Amino acid sequence: MKPFNVFPYDSKINFMRVRMISLAIAALLMFAAIGAMAVNGFNFALDFTGGVGVELRFAKPVEVEAVRSKLAAAGFDNAQVQSFGTGTDLLVRLQKEEGRRNEGTGSIAQDVQAAASSADNPAEVRSSAEISAQVGKELRDKGILALVFVIVGFMIYISFRFEWKFAVAAIITTLHDVVIVVGWFALSGHEFDLTVLAGALSVMGFSVNDTIVVFDRVRENFRSMRASPEEVLNASVNQTLSRTVITSFVALLTVLALYFYGGASLRGMAESQIIGIVIGTLSSIFVACPLLMWLGVSKQDLMPKARDEAALARRP
Amino acid sequence: MLTYARWKYAAFLIVLLLSAVYAVPNLFPQDPSVQVTANRGAPVDEALRTRVAASLQKAGVTAKQVELDTKKNNLLVRLASPDVQVKAADALRPELGSDYIVALNIASTVPDWLEKFGARPMSLGLDLQGGVHFLMQVDQKAALEKRLEATTEDLRVLLRDKRIAYISVDRRPDNSIVATLRDAAAASAAAGVIVKGQPTLLQQMQGNQIVLQVQPAELQKYAADAIDQNVSTLRNRVNALGVAEPVIQRQGNDRIVVELPGVQDTAQAKRMIGATATLEYRAVVEGNAFDAVESGNVPPEARVYYRRERGPDGKPMPILLNKRVIASGDQLVGATTGIDSQSGTPTVSVRLNSAGGQRMFDFTSENVGKPMAVVYIERLPEVKVVNGQEIRSTRINEEVVSVATINGVFSNEFQTTGLSGQEAADLSKLLKSGSLAAPMDFVEERIIGPSLGKQNVESGLKAVTFSFAFALVFFLIYYRMFGVITCIALLLNLVMVFALMSFFGATMSLPGLAGIALTVGMSVDANVLINERIREELRLGLPPQTAIATGYDRAAGTILDANITAFLVGLAMAAFGTGPLRGFGITTMLGIATSAYTAVSVSRAIATLIYGGRRKLKSIWI
């Protein structure tokens, strides 16, 4: 019985020939993402900005406008009211009114609930959050710190196991993926909250995983094949193509399950991962190896150094 | 002939068994229950059980079971549903009064023999069961100032005690203390005294001045002490709220996280946490307190107080105390337990500020040999529902926590001796809980409603189930026999993640569930790598059994490299993140570690079991 597969095993697609085009597209996407971030900025969620958010569920569907005017009447002038999901769920966001916080007696959520409710259509507080701007800022700083930690960690580990050119290529590829994912959130204006940050960071894990598998094959082929770097890289991408596509496909399936069944709280995370998986897969095929080629990787880079020196020492 | 080391099979079986034992408790449903604990040394016994059962019956609540746990000293009422749970708690609260704390809880139904192995279900995060979350910022600057002020005062007292006249001892804004003396000779004498009395201070002589610096290590200790004291104060206050399994943890150098599952009224919780408790030192008035209570004949300068401990009749013992306060809690700087060097018994050392110290000095000079009492005063907010209206009030609770005889004259620093170890620990905790070491602010406050929690559990589990099902179906179709092997490996992987998380007492949250779903997605990779490699070796013409062995060997190196880099990302999230980011990072790391093991080792063991023994294997189903 022949194995069932989606990709022909003896594929000989010349990925390296189009390397300038693929690198150009990747760079273009990346700059577009950076541009979106610079122009649009982010729709940061409460987690990062600080403030007050109250999620209300009404007994019957309500008009957003009616709730807004009711809140304004109660003194919440700058309340943003959005509906989400069904017509009965509303999200109310407020800038924090300083001074109220330190009394330690009242709860804004309960005030908002009281103001928004009416006798025939009472609201229930589904969740609420009050976060100081300081905490939000720290969270952003920590996110950046985590990113730096990951990059340094990759640099050290990959340089140790492979070679510095591989480390640089892997890091650029990974950053490319994360930047595009984050850029999508800037472009679409979708809310960027803590779970999206978690999603974006995990994209790094997924993306580097994909890239390393290809690099591993590159290393193996450099040691066993007698061919030019271009041929070696091409062969490596082709040999791992089937695996790359299958892994990504299954991972995509699991993330789709998260997107469709995980509820509203996980949707942002799943969205970032869906984009991350697609981009990460493409970049491990079209970006990682072209970058290696560009950095001038050669057979010598992967030969054990100690033996060379020993061989040199033996020469008269 | 394909073989696999016997000890590896043994390891696989052990892992399988352990994972099952530790993961299984999560499958047992949890009973909504009401937990009754004694508040102030009130008895938890068979009599209480009868009382509780009777009042439940009166309220028309049928309990599944009323359990008395003498080891944990509590009573657990198991109920059928959350609605009945609330009804039961409402019935029990007024009935049991302030002697007992009645808290809503969820009780595990895990059999005892499983619990003996330490196997427990994971606790659910707030996002899965509803509750409130507070993040509080401790004002470390204020704490430091309070401590430095106390140290400055200590120095003054020290110099006074040693009869060294000083011009001034002052605190400078740069956290140093400057003692100015009359001349250089007095300064060097003072320096000698300070070295002995306050050995941790760094000294520097400048003519008739001594500049004292607190060592950086000591400053850090001050900060750590302050946050520890605030945590223990909060813990005492939260316990009085009647919340089952609250979380009170320090986060970083100056934050405290408080999580109260099941609590909905944040206003009440905030008032409680911000509640004020204080202490007073009062003189004991001689006379028979029992008679005074009975006859109503209380001496004019005295008031009747009750002791915390109970008398032989089980009722609080009255005691007569002077109406005049000697020193109060806001004058208290610190309280620590230690061992008395003379008697070798536990002691509590108390430090007061200068005003309190002076009052104490004046009082003790005239009253050596007489008893003195410590009164603990709490202001507890109470909410009662009368005719459907909520009525909020404050109850003031005053108790005498210790009575001790004055053995000599003392001022700002003194010890209470003659206590048992437990008594000493309790007293110092109470003394400290009266005061916060530093003021705190609420910097984050989250409420998750119970209905949202329930929905999160459902959608989270659904997502995990579907992501798993999608992966399994794909593998079965695509790799056939090796798909079956992969599915077994993936299943074990899932069980192992649950087992490890339960074992380490991790909390399951919504991002944690997402992490598990994603783990499935990522762990697929290791399995795909192996299966594809085996197919590749087969295409190269290797005989099936060699192809399996080579496939596993060759893929292992790749899996190692790919997983370690992905692991780094999880590590970064766990190390730098808080809340959801951390939960997600931890699950990812666990998932990567277990997936590497199950893919490389477990699936190979199974493959060998299936194909290893056949002598003339022509083809394999992959």
| Residue numbers in A near B251 (CB within 8 A) | none
Please say if the pLDDT value at position B10 is more than 80. Answer: yes
Listed in order, the ranges of chain A carrying CATH 3.30.70.100 are: 51-131
Q: Which of B65-74, B146-155, B236-245, B343-352 has the lowest mean pLDDT?
A: B236-245
Percent of chain A with pLDDT over 90: 35
Asked if B371 and B481 sit in the same domain, the reply is no
Domain with CATH 1.20.1640.10 in chain A: 16-42+136-303
CA distance B578 to A136: 12
Q: Do B478 and A4 touch (CB under 8 A)?
A: yes
Please tell us whether the domain made up of A16-42+136-303 is placed in CATH 1.20.1640.10. yes
Q: Determine which of A73-87, B95-109, B157-171, B263-277 has the lowest per-residue pLDDT on average.
A: B263-277
CATH number of residue B74's parent domain: 3.30.70.260
Tell whether A269 lies on the interface with B, counting CB pairs under 8 A: yes
What pLDDT does A278 receive?
A: 95
Kindly state whether residues B399 and B468 are assigned to the same domain: no
Q: Which residue has the tokens 């007095």?
A: B186
Confidence bin at B347 (pLDDT 50/70/90): confident
pLDDT recorded at residue A101: 40
Per CB-CB distance under 8 Å, the chain B contacts of A205 are 522, 565-570, 588
* B606 & B459 share domain: yes
User: Quick one: which of B596, B565, B558 has its CA closest to A206?
Assistant: B565
Q: Does B268 touch chain A (CB under 8 A)?
A: no
Closest partner CB to A198 (pick from B557, B565, B581): B581
How far apart (Å, rounded) are the C-alpha atoms in residues B374 and B423? Answer: 13
Question: Which of B443, B449, B525 is nearest residue A135 as measured by Cβ atoms?
Answer: B443
Q: Best mutation site among B478, B565, B582, B619 for testing chain A: the one with the most A CBs within 10 Å? A: B565
Would you call A3 an interface residue with chain B, using a CB distance cutoff of 8 Å?
A: yes
Q: Does B561 touch chain A (CB under 8 A)?
A: yes
- Mean pLDDT to the nearest integer, A289-304: 84
Q: Share the mean pLDDT of chain B.
A: 82
Can you give the pLDDT at residue A187?
Answer: 94
Q: Residues B332, B390: one domain?
A: yes
Task: Say which of A55, A247, A255 has its CB closest to residue B525.
Answer: A247
Q: Given B182, B205, B220, which residue is the final one in a domain?
A: B220
For residue A79, the surrounding DSSP H or E stretch is: none
> Do B356 and B331 contact (CB within 8 A), yes or no?
yes
Spatial separation of the C-alpha atoms in residues B614 and B115, rounded to whole Å: 43
C-alpha–C-alpha distance, residues B375 and B329, integer Å: 10
A-B contacts at Cβ under 8 angstroms: 251
Q: Which chain A residue lies closest to B618 (C-alpha atoms)? A: A1
pLDDT beyond 60 at B276: no
Q: Please give the backbone phi and psi of residue B615, each rounded to the nearest 5 degrees, phi first.
A: -75, -40
* B392 pLDDT above the threshold of 60: no
Q: How far is A281 from chain B (nearest CA, A)?
A: 12
Where is the domain boundary, B61, B83, B107?
B107
Which range has highest mean pLDDT (A312-316, B83-87, B209-213)?
A: B209-213
Distance from CA of B330 to the nearest CA of A (A): 20
pLDDT digits (tens, 9 = 90+) for A194-233: 889 889 988 998 899 889 999 999 999 998 888 888 899 9
User: Would you call A97 an interface residue with chain B, using a CB distance cutoff of 8 Å?
Assistant: no
Q: What is the pLDDT of residue A35?
A: 95
CA distance B231 to chain A (A): 18
User: A172-183: per-residue pLDDT in tens?
Assistant: 999 999 999 999
Q: Which residue has the tokens 């190390």?
A: B575
Non-local CB neighbours of A151 within 8 Å, separated by 6+ positions: A171, A175
Amino acid, res. A243: R
Inter-chain residue contact A129 with B445, CB threshold 8 Å: yes
Structure tokens at B389: 């209206």
| CA-closest candidate to residue A215, choices A268, A272, A162 | A162
Both tokens of B156, joined, read: 């003054």
Q: How confident is the model at residue B98 (pLDDT cuts 50, 70, 90)?
A: low
Instruction: Please enumerate in sequence order all residues whose Cβ is within 8 A of that of B439, keeping only pairs 6 or more positions apart, or say none.
Output: B138, B139, B142
Residues B307 and B365 in one domain: yes
Taking only the tens place, the pLDDT of each residue in A39-75 is 999 988 888 888 888 888 888 888 888 888 888 888 7
Supply the angle between the helices A194-224 and B510-539 in degrees, to the nearest 10: 20
- E strands of B436-577, at which residues? 440-448, 507-508
**What pLDDT is stored for residue A280 in this prediction?**
94
Query: What pLDDT does residue B438 have?
Result: 72
Do the Cβ atoms of B467 and A243 come within 8 Å? no
* Average pLDDT score over chain A: 85
A254–B520 C-beta distance less than 8 A: yes
Final residue belonging to a domain, choices B201, B220, B239: B220
Cα A236 from Cα A240, distance rounded (Å) = 6
Q: Is the pLDDT of residue A108 over 50?
A: yes
Q: At B568, which CATH number?
A: 1.20.1640.10
Shortest Cα distance, chain B CAs vs residue A314, angstroms: 32
Q: Do A213 and B529 touch (CB under 8 A)?
A: yes
Instruction: Please report the pLDDT score of residue A5 as a whole number.
Output: 67
Nearest chain A residue to B573 by CA: give it. Answer: A146
On whether the CB atoms of residues B223 and B215 are closer than 8 A, the answer is no
Task: Give me the amino acid identity at B167.
Answer: I
| Contact predicate B371/B444, CB 8 Å | no
Res A28: pLDDT: 96
DSSP state of B558: H
**What is residue A90's predicted lDDT score, i.e. its pLDDT?**
85
- Residue B413, classed as helix, strand or coil, is strand
Flag whether pLDDT at A112 surpasses 70: yes
Radius of gyration (C-alpha) of chain B in whole angstroms: 32
Indicate the pLDDT class of residue A104, thresholds 50, 70 and 90: very low
pLDDT above 60 (res A1): no
B413 and B498 both lie in a single domain: no
Of the CA atoms within 13 Å of residue B508, those in its CB half-sphere come to 24
Task: Tell whether B408 is within 8 A of chain A (Cβ).
Answer: no
**Which residue segment(s) compose the domain that B286 sits in?**
275-427
- Which of A235-239, B36-40, B529-533 shows the lowest mean pLDDT across its residues? B36-40
Q: pLDDT value at position A99?
A: 36
Average pLDDT of the segment spanning A140-149: 88
Q: How far apart are CA A183 and CA A200, in angstroms?
A: 11
Q: How far is CA B385 from CA A36, B35, B265, B391, B393, in A?
A: 55, 21, 14, 6, 11
Rounded to two decimals, what is the model's pTM? 0.77
Identify which of B448, B511, B576 has the shortest CB distance to residue A142: B576
Taking an 8 Å cut-off on Cβ atoms, the answer to whether B572 and A153 are in contact is yes
Please report whether residue B128 resides in a domain.
no
| Per-residue pLDDT at A100 exceeds 50 | no
Identify whether residues B409 and B543 lie together within a single domain.
no
More confident site: A149 or B244: A149
- Give the residue, B64 or B343, on which the prediction is more confident: B64
Give the number of domains in chain B.
4
Q: In chain B, pLDDT over 90 holds for what percent of residues?
A: 5
Overall average pLDDT of the B59-69 stretch: 83
Q: Is residue B251 included in any domain, yes or no?
A: no
pLDDT of B405 reads 86
Let me know: does B84 contact B9? Beta carbons within 8 Å: no
The answer on pLDDT for B381 being more than 60 is no
CA distance B454 to B451: 5
- Cβ contacts (< 8 Å) between A105 and chain B: which residues? 267, 270-271, 274
Q: Within its chain, how far is the Cα of B341 from the centroid?
A: 33
B-chain residues within 8 Å CB-CB of A246? 478, 528, 532
Asked if residue B491 belongs to a domain, the reply is yes
Same domain flag for B208 and B306: no
Amino acid at B417: T
Q: Looking at the partner chain, which of A106, A126, A132 has a beta carbon nearest the beta carbon of B267?
A: A106
**Judgement on whether residues B176 and B310 belong to the same structural domain of the protein:** no
| Cβ under 8 Å to A: B residues 114-153 | 127, 135, 137
> Of how many residues is chain B composed?
622
Nearest CA in chain B to A161: B561
Which residues of A are less than 8 Å from B459 in CB distance?
Answer: 261-263, 265-266
Do both B413 and B473 map to the same domain?
no
Instruction: Decide if B253 is inside a domain.
Output: no
CB atoms B575 and A149 under 8 Å: yes
Task: Look up residue B441 and give its amino acid.
Answer: D
Whether B66 contacts B52, CB under 8 Å: yes
d(CA B562, CA A213): 6
Q: How far is A316 from chain B (nearest CA, A)?
A: 38
Do B206 and B304 lie in a common domain? no
A240, A210 in Cβ contact below 8 A?
no
CA distance B376 to B397: 8
What's the pLDDT at B394? 61
Distance CA A182, CA A192 (A): 9
Of A292, A227, A276, A206, the residue nearest A33 (C-alpha): A276
The per-residue pLDDT for A85 is 67
Residue by residue, what is the 3-state secondary structure of B484-522?
HHHHHHHHHHHHHHHHHHHHCCCEECHHHHHHHHHHHHH
Model confidence at A316, pLDDT cuts 50, 70, 90, reads low
The verdict on A69 touching B (C-beta cutoff 8 Å) is: no
DSSP code, position B600: I
What integer pLDDT is reported at residue A285 of this predicted model?
92
- Identify residue A156 by its one-letter amino acid code: I
Say if residues A214 and A240 touch (Cβ distance below 8 Å): yes
B243 in a structural domain: no
- Tokens 């990747």 locate to A26
CA distance to partner chain B, nearest, from residue A48 (Å): 12
Higher-confidence position of A50 and B274: A50
Share of chain B above pLDDT 70, in %: 91
Confidence (pLDDT) at A188: 93
Is the pLDDT assigned to residue A9 strictly greater than 70? no
When pLDDT is cut at 50, 70 and 90, the band that residue B454 belongs to is confident
Q: Which of B137, B443, B449 sits opposite A127 (nearest CB)?
A: B449
Mutate to test the interface with A, among B568, B571, B586, B622 (most CBs of A within 10 A): B568
Could you tell me which residue, B386 or B58, shows the higher pLDDT?
B58
> Which CATH number fits the domain that encloses residue B199?
3.30.1360.40
Which residue stretches of A41-132 are H helix? 46-49, 64-73, 108-116
Query: Class of the A51-131 domain?
Result: alpha beta
Q: Which residue of B has its CA nearest to A250?
A: B471
Q: Do B53 and B85 belong to one domain?
A: yes
Query: Which of A1, A127, A255 lies nearest to residue B452, judging by beta carbons?
Result: A127
Which chain A residues have a beta carbon less than 8 Å from that of B579?
194
